[in-house]
Chains A and B, each alone.
Chain A
Amino acid sequence: MKNTSLKKSPILDVNSLKVNFQTKTGKVTGVKDLSFSIFPGETVCLVGESGSGKSVSSLSIMRLVEFGGGKIDSGSIMFSSNSKAEKDLIDFNQKDMRGIRGNEIGMVFQEPMTALNPVFTVKRQLTEGLRIHKKMGKKEAQLEALNLLKSVRIPEPERRLNQYPHELSGGMRQRIVIAMALACKPRILIADEPTTALDVTIQAEILTLLNRLKQETGTSILFITHDMAVVAQIADRVVVMYNGEKVEEGTVNQIFNNPVKDYTKKLISSVPKLGAMIGKKYPEPLELSSNDKLKTKRIVGTKKPLLEVKNLVTRYPVMGGMFRKKIANLHAVEDVSFTINKGQTFSLVGESGCGKTTIARTILRLEESVSGEVWIEGVDVLKQNKKELLKQRLNMQMVFQDPYGSLNPVMKLFDQVAEPLINYKINQGAELNKMISELFDKVKLPRAFLNRYPHELSGGQRQRVAIARALALNPKLLILDEAVSALDVSVQASVINLLLDLQHELGLSYLFVSHDMAVVERVSHYVGVMYLGRMVEIGDRQTIFSNPTHPYTKALMKAVPIADPKKRFRGDDINFKAISSPIRSLDFVPDASSYKKIKKDHYVLDNDIGYD
């Protein structure tokens, strides 16, 4: 598989790599058989779902896999370094490897929040590599660090040098990690899911940055991701992995336009694509494979309102001073109103910190509001006392983002799903058993799972258990807080389809909280876009997606990567505003939200919120 435009010899040539992990229960294979090569100045994407061995492969190239208990069993990793001729990295000892790491191969990791050492300044962490590999003095390294920060386009680079990682936003931290990886001008940059933990606008910025740096420095990039849309944005060539093996390899156009293997096709088809729902008035399930006959065609719902949120305001006090007094307010939700119809889905979208989760939690009274009303079936939830609230929660249930954290690890699945029923004394004995079994059928989990523990299940299966638990009380409203965000694409697709089936079957209403525009487009009837605690635009899904009017909505749409290599970000139009702080002084009186009506069911915020 040689790209004709690149006749040069590869920088990195991985040949039938095999990596095993020694565990208590025996050997586990991380990578079975992987071969690929990287040519100078190209971006190769390793793509696959969790457990496919893509991260293990990258750690093996760095020979860091040994620190995690892995062992390279066979194969070769031929690397032609700057100084020496082509050499097999597998023959290197750890001491020689240190001359390669950070010097000729740089690496960027997934979690910018944890990838930096919290107790050292940015300067210290940036200069470390320079001083070791390039033998620079303190002053020289410091100057170089400043240049690096400029090259990754961090605002106010001089100030950043003396800051600690926790003082910076996620996007800035990732830029610093990239600067660190590029410090010694490596020949290859390995980026392991560098944008997965970031908001879409920041993701778009980082992807543009990587593309630009590649052009400026000629560094080759090995980019690892699970997201086909990101692949389409950045790759020259693509290596698809599944279960530790290479499934398919090709140029990005070949992979997207003429995928050969079924797995690749499935991977591409399960990505919810922005714009896939154009011309469709109602949500409908994804077609995962061509022979998949869908039971649910489309979900119409009703026009009767179930939940009405009026002028909701939620603020958190910020404490400080000698006597821990309230010194400021964090305006998490500021004058937000919307309606959810029976049997329909209302989606809240926005970036982290915009207040979407706070709304979801306030509706359930998991947070207390400052003012506003939440009407469901003629009662205001916010005015109910404890006893009434307990009954009210029968109507509303929630599914959380992290399927690992939201299930109790020491309780059997049966008991977890049965807990709400026992709590409300709805059922017991044989009838309870029957009910739980039926719930498992509903979420398409085998009944054999009833007596298992959460750790025996995969992420997708756990999320199904969480959905079953939420459904146990037969609620009218399900609040899905990023319920599919942590799942692999193919699993995500099947959970989305499950949710749509359930909505169709049971006439449920959903409040769908998500940062993923493509998923939102797939499932929603109505959409509200949030920014800094305000609802900046609200309307029916078709209108919002076809005619975004508020500047923030437009920016958000533009930042969504499209799974089509022909529609890449152009460097010049990526310039998003950083979200300003929602913390205001105590005497700050926010003005009421006023909306401009664009057309029926489509309103845009008129207030000046500092985004234009």
Chain B
Amino acid sequence: MFDYTVRRLLIAVPTLIVISLVIFLVLSLAPNDPMAQVPLTVPPEVKEKMREALGLGQPLYVQFWKWLVQFFWIEPQVLIDHYFGTNYSEDKLRVISWQTRAPVMDTVVQRLPQTLWVVGMSYVVAIAISIPIGIYSAYKQYSIFDQAGTFITMVGYSIPPFFTGPLVIVIFAVYLDWFPSTYDTLHEVNSWDSFIIQLKQMFLPVMVLAIQGTAQISRYMRSAILDNLNQDYVRTARAKGLSESIVILVHVLRNSMIPVITVIALNLPLIFGGAIITEQVFKVNGIGQQLILAIYANDLPTIQTLTFIFAFLIVFMNLVADVLYALLDPRIRYE
């Protein structure tokens, strides 16, 4: 098991480097000019100097190497300095945003908590709703609940967040006025009332993001339970005289969670993708919104860094899924 995890981690390193290279090359192919926003009154020679100051005069491989060094070598040093008060990273050049001329990671660290709160909470909500729905739908297959569940999850799955987002804003924020339409990042939770406000402002974005996750996970849960209900060991459990709740919630559920856990882990990065749009709709200033703003501003280092963080999440979650898989299923012990 330990060997397996270490081996997978080692394989992840070249995978991530190749991914970062692909992102870098694709971005460098994009027709853009970071100086496009600079006023026309600035003479071309000055603009050229500014370009060189950003490192754009260098050949591509140098630019890529610099980014690699900055991201994988200098940024971790910044992190270590931050926690241990050392000064390894002093005077070293970090990944700098062209937009703000500040280190990209500083902005990411500021914005990440908002994203994690909204996205993370939505995923927890999705799991908490979808697992009972999946179990019940499977146990009462073809019942009205199951049929309705199938229909609703199908609808939920096929309508994208950029549609449901404005829709719930119109209904719940504009007409009913139950929840605020935007997310106020500056809001501080220091009393019961402010906690309620925090809950309220989180409600709509969390729900919009949770709909898709719920639809997908409950489908997987349902089919996993159905697969297991026909297994021989279920008959054995019943033949022992166990009650239906033990048969389903202990014997069947534990086995059904094995494939579902994988789906849950693998889908987490996709939810981040959805968050990019949802953050925009609800004005949550998380990293999704940061990515959109960077794209508008041709801020290549920020785009490169954020895209890579998403890619890293996908690779990491893959690994987590495999490890969880082995933990849940005693038959799989990756030797």
Contacting pair A109 B235 (CB below 8 A): yes
Q: How far is the CB of B256 from chain A (nearest CB, A)?
A: 10
Contacting pair B239 A114 (CB below 8 A): no
When chains A and B are docked, how far (Å) is the Cα of A184 from the Cα of B236? 15
User: Given contacts A67-B238, A101-B241, could you give 20 more A-B pairs where the C-beta distance is less than 8 Å?
Assistant: A64-B238, A94-B244, A97-B241, A98-B241, A98-B242, A100-B241, A101-B239, A109-B232, A111-B232, A114-B231, A115-B232, A115-B233, A116-B236, A117-B233, A119-B328, A128-B240, A128-B246, A132-B242, A133-B241, A180-B236
**A164-B232 CB under 8 A given contacts A62-B239, A64-B238, A102-B241:** no
A383 at the interface (CB under 8 A from B): no
For A98, what are the chain B residues with a Cβ–Cβ distance below 8 Å? Answer: 241-243
Sample (20) of A-B pairs whose CB atoms are under 8 Å apart: A62-B239, A67-B235, A98-B242, A99-B241, A101-B239, A101-B240, A102-B239, A102-B240, A109-B239, A114-B232, A115-B232, A117-B237, A117-B251, A119-B254, A129-B240, A132-B240, A164-B330, A177-B236, A181-B239, A322-B3
When chains A and B are docked, how far (Å) is the Cα of A64 from the Cα of B244? 12
For A323, what are the chain B residues with a Cβ–Cβ distance below 8 Å? Answer: 7
A166 at the interface (CB under 8 A from B): yes
When chains A and B are docked, how far (Å) is the Cα of A164 from the Cα of B330? 7
* Contact string against A for B residues 251-272, beta-carbon threshold 8 Å, 1 for contact and 0 otherwise: 1001100100000000000000
When chains A and B are docked, how far (Å) is the Cα of A501 from the Cα of B3? 57
Contacting pair A116 B233 (CB below 8 A): yes
For A118, what are the chain B residues with a Cβ–Cβ distance below 8 Å? Answer: 233, 255, 329-331
For B238, what are the chain A residues with a Cβ–Cβ distance below 8 Å? Answer: 64, 67, 101
For A128, what are the chain B residues with a Cβ–Cβ distance below 8 Å? Answer: 237, 240, 242, 246
Q: Which 3 A-B pairs have the closest CB atoms?
A: A102-B241, A102-B240, A101-B241
Between B6, B235, B236, B240, the greatest number of chain A beta carbons within 10 A of the residue's beta carbon is seen for: B240
For B232, what are the chain A residues with a Cβ–Cβ distance below 8 Å? Answer: 109, 111, 114-115
* Contact string against B for A residues 102-120, beta-carbon threshold 8 Å, 1 for contact and 0 otherwise: 1100110101001111111
The residue of chain B having its C-beta at the shortest distance from the C-beta of A59 within the complex is B235
Contacting pair A129 B236 (CB below 8 A): no
* Contact string against A for B residues 207-245, beta-carbon threshold 8 Å, 1 for contact and 0 otherwise: 000000000000000000000000111011111111110
A405 at the interface (CB under 8 A from B): no
A446 at the interface (CB under 8 A from B): no
For B235, what are the chain A residues with a Cβ–Cβ distance below 8 Å? Answer: 64, 67, 109, 115
When chains A and B are docked, how far (Å) is the Cα of A109 from the Cα of B6? 41
B193 at the interface (CB under 8 A from A): no
For B246, what are the chain A residues with a Cβ–Cβ distance below 8 Å? Answer: 128
A610 at the interface (CB under 8 A from B): no
Q: How far is the CB of A184 from chain B (nearest CB, A)?
A: 8
Contacting pair A166 B331 (CB below 8 A): yes
Q: Which of B1-35 contact A (CB under 8 A)?
A: 3, 6-7
The residue of chain B having its C-beta at the shortest distance from the C-beta of A177 within the complex is B236
A320 at the interface (CB under 8 A from B): yes
Contacting pair A322 B6 (CB below 8 A): yes
Q: How far is the CB of A331 from chain B (nearest CB, A)?
A: 19
For A177, what are the chain B residues with a Cβ–Cβ distance below 8 Å? Answer: 236
A321 at the interface (CB under 8 A from B): yes
A159 at the interface (CB under 8 A from B): no
B188 at the interface (CB under 8 A from A): no
Contacting pair A119 B241 (CB below 8 A): no
When chains A and B are docked, how far (Å) is the Cα of A117 from the Cα of B246? 13
**Range of interface residues on A (Cβ < 8 Å):** 35 or more
Contacting pair B330 A119 (CB below 8 A): yes
When chains A and B are docked, how far (Å) is the Cα of A164 from the Cα of B331? 8
For A133, what are the chain B residues with a Cβ–Cβ distance below 8 Å? Answer: 241
For B45, what are the chain A residues with a Cβ–Cβ distance below 8 Å? Answer: none
Between B241, B243, B255, the greatest number of chain A beta carbons within 10 A of the residue's beta carbon is seen for: B241
The residue of chain B having its C-beta at the shortest distance from the C-beta of A97 within the complex is B241
Show the binding face of B for A, using Cβ within 8 Å.
3, 6-7, 231-233, 235-244, 246, 251, 254-255, 258, 328-331, 335
Contacting pair A103 B241 (CB below 8 A): yes
For A109, what are the chain B residues with a Cβ–Cβ distance below 8 Å? Answer: 232, 235-236, 239
Q: How far is the CB of B83 from chain A (nearest CB, A)?
A: 30
When chains A and B are docked, how far (Å) is the Cα of A285 from the Cα of B6? 60
For A100, what are the chain B residues with a Cβ–Cβ distance below 8 Å? Answer: 241
Q: Which of A314-349 contact B (CB under 8 A)?
A: 320-324
When chains A and B are docked, how far (Å) is the Cα of A518 from the Cα of B329? 40
For B236, what are the chain A residues with a Cβ–Cβ distance below 8 Å? Answer: 107, 109, 115-117, 177, 180
When chains A and B are docked, how far (Å) is the Cα of A117 from the Cα of B242? 14
When chains A and B are docked, how far (Å) is the Cα of A183 from the Cα of B235? 17
When chains A and B are docked, how far (Å) is the Cα of A221 from the Cα of B246? 28
When chains A and B are docked, how far (Å) is the Cα of A106 from the Cα of B241? 9
Picked from A120, A132, A320, A324, the residue with its CB within 8 Å of the CB of B241 is: A132
Contacting pair B242 A120 (CB below 8 A): no
Contacting pair B330 A106 (CB below 8 A): no
For A164, what are the chain B residues with a Cβ–Cβ distance below 8 Å? Answer: 330-331
When chains A and B are docked, how far (Å) is the Cα of A111 from the Cα of B232? 8
When chains A and B are docked, how far (Å) is the Cα of A571 from the Cα of B3? 47
The residue of chain A having its C-beta at the shortest distance from the C-beta of B328 within the complex is A119
Contacting pair A321 B330 (CB below 8 A): no
When chains A and B are docked, how far (Å) is the Cα of A195 from the Cα of B179? 65
When chains A and B are docked, how far (Å) is the Cα of A320 from the Cα of B2? 12
Q: How far is the CB of A250 from chain B (nearest CB, A)?
A: 29
Picked from A64, A117, A120, the residue with its CB within 8 Å of the CB of B239 is: A64
Contacting pair B240 A322 (CB below 8 A): no
When chains A and B are docked, how far (Å) is the Cα of A180 from the Cα of B240? 8
**A321-B239 CB under 8 A given contacts A118-B233, A119-B254, A119-B255:** no
For A103, what are the chain B residues with a Cβ–Cβ distance below 8 Å? Answer: 241
For B335, what are the chain A residues with a Cβ–Cβ distance below 8 Å? Answer: 320-321
When chains A and B are docked, how far (Å) is the Cα of A97 from the Cα of B232? 19
Q: Which of A71-125 contact B (CB under 8 A)?
A: 94, 97-103, 106-107, 109, 111, 114-120
The residue of chain A having its C-beta at the shortest distance from the C-beta of B238 within the complex is A64
The residue of chain A having its C-beta at the shortest distance from the C-beta of B239 within the complex is A107
**A324-B255 CB under 8 A given contacts A119-B328, A180-B236:** no
Q: How far is the CB of B40 from chain A (nearest CB, A)?
A: 59
The residue of chain B having its C-beta at the shortest distance from the C-beta of A103 within the complex is B241
Q: How far is the CB of A197 from chain B (nearest CB, A)?
A: 11
When chains A and B are docked, how far (Å) is the Cα of A474 from the Cα of B148? 57
The residue of chain A having its C-beta at the shortest distance from the C-beta of B251 within the complex is A117
Q: How far is the CB of A328 from chain B (nearest CB, A)?
A: 11
The residue of chain A having its C-beta at the shortest distance from the C-beta of B335 within the complex is A320
Q: How far is the CB of B140 from chain A (nearest CB, A)?
A: 13
When chains A and B are docked, how far (Å) is the Cα of A101 from the Cα of B236? 10
For B258, what are the chain A residues with a Cβ–Cβ distance below 8 Å? Answer: 119
**A129-B255 CB under 8 A given contacts A118-B329, A322-B7:** no
Q: How far is the CB of A31 from chain B (nearest CB, A)?
A: 18
Contacting pair B251 A129 (CB below 8 A): no
When chains A and B are docked, how far (Å) is the Cα of A119 from the Cα of B328? 7
When chains A and B are docked, how far (Å) is the Cα of A322 from the Cα of B255? 28
Q: Which of A400-423 contact B (CB under 8 A)?
A: none
Contacting pair A324 B239 (CB below 8 A): no
**A166-B330 CB under 8 A given contacts A116-B233, A117-B251, A320-B335:** yes
The residue of chain B having its C-beta at the shortest distance from the C-beta of A167 within the complex is B330
The residue of chain B having its C-beta at the shortest distance from the C-beta of A111 within the complex is B232
The residue of chain A having its C-beta at the shortest distance from the C-beta of B257 within the complex is A119
Q: How far is the CB of B332 from chain A (nearest CB, A)?
A: 9
Between A97, A99, A100, A132, the greatest number of chain B beta carbons within 10 A of the residue's beta carbon is seen for: A132
When chains A and B are docked, how far (Å) is the Cα of A180 from the Cα of B231? 18
**A129-B3 CB under 8 A given contacts A109-B232, A166-B330, A166-B331:** no
Contacting pair A119 B329 (CB below 8 A): yes
For A129, what are the chain B residues with a Cβ–Cβ distance below 8 Å? Answer: 240-242
The residue of chain B having its C-beta at the shortest distance from the C-beta of A327 within the complex is B335
When chains A and B are docked, how far (Å) is the Cα of A100 from the Cα of B330? 32
For B239, what are the chain A residues with a Cβ–Cβ distance below 8 Å? Answer: 62, 64, 101-102, 106-107, 109, 181
For A321, what are the chain B residues with a Cβ–Cβ distance below 8 Å? Answer: 3, 335
When chains A and B are docked, how far (Å) is the Cα of A99 from the Cα of B241? 6
Q: How far is the CB of A284 from chain B (nearest CB, A)?
A: 40
